[in-house]
Structure formats: structure tokens, C-alpha cells
Amino acid sequence: MHTINVSLVFATEQKQWIHEAQVARGTSAQELIESSEFMAKVEALSAVKLELLDIGVFSQKIALDYLLEEGDRVELYRPLTADPKEVRRQLALLGKTIGNSSKGKT
């Protein structure tokens, strides 16, 4: 059996979790996540259904059935707590932008 090296990562503002693994070539992202029990070990993910999370490899969104390749870093993305469009709209009403306290200041 040929194995490949992959990693599984998740981050919050306070902490990062990394799980390194060797899996059989042909393993899907879902199989990696489920077999690692990663979501049960990370409190922020323990009550979340895998099917509701977005996942990616090196910032490129993938499906759960994506077949892993040597060196892939599977990323579990945090569920959004606010709609980014709504946040930008609310800031615009206040004359502000994301990353700046107000428009026009240098």
C-alpha cells in the first residue's frame, strides 16, 4: 500500500490545531477528517456537522470527496458568525471601512 503525508488544520483567533497523518493514496478529505477524530478533539468543532463546514486545500475550496495528494494541507474553515456583506454595509452607513476607522484618513 502506498501512503502519502497530509495534514489537517483548523484555527481560531486564539489557537491553531494541526494533525499530521500518513494515509493511503486514494483517501478522501472526508475519510481523513473522520478517521482522525479531529473534530471531536477540537472543542470549537465538536458540535458542528462536517457537512456544514467549508473545507479547502491551500485556500482552495474542495468537496468532501476530494482525493488527497502528497503534501496536501486540508483546512477546516470556521463557520461565519456574521455575513461579510452585511458587516460592510453597516460600516458604510457609519462612514467606515474594514481595516480603517474612517474613510479618507491617511
Single-letter residue type at 85 = K
Tell me the pLDDT tens digit for each residue of 35-77. 999 899 888 888 888 888 999 999 999 999 999 999 999 999 9
**The predicted structure's pLDDT at residue 68:** 97
Query: What is the predicted pLDDT for the residue at 105?
Result: 46
Q: Is the pLDDT of residue 102 over 50?
A: no
Compute the distance between CA of residue 27 and CA of residue 79 in angstroms, rounded to an integer. Answer: 25
- Encode pLDDT of 21-32 as tens digits: 999 999 999 999
Q: Is the pTM of this model over 0.85?
A: no
Domains in the chain: ranges and CATH: 3-79 (3.10.20.30)
CB atoms within 10 A of CB 36: 17
The CA-atom distances, in angstroms, between 32 and each of 4, 51, 55, 67 are: 12, 14, 12, 10
Higher per-residue pLDDT: 86 or 48: 48
The one-letter amino acid code at 78 reads: R
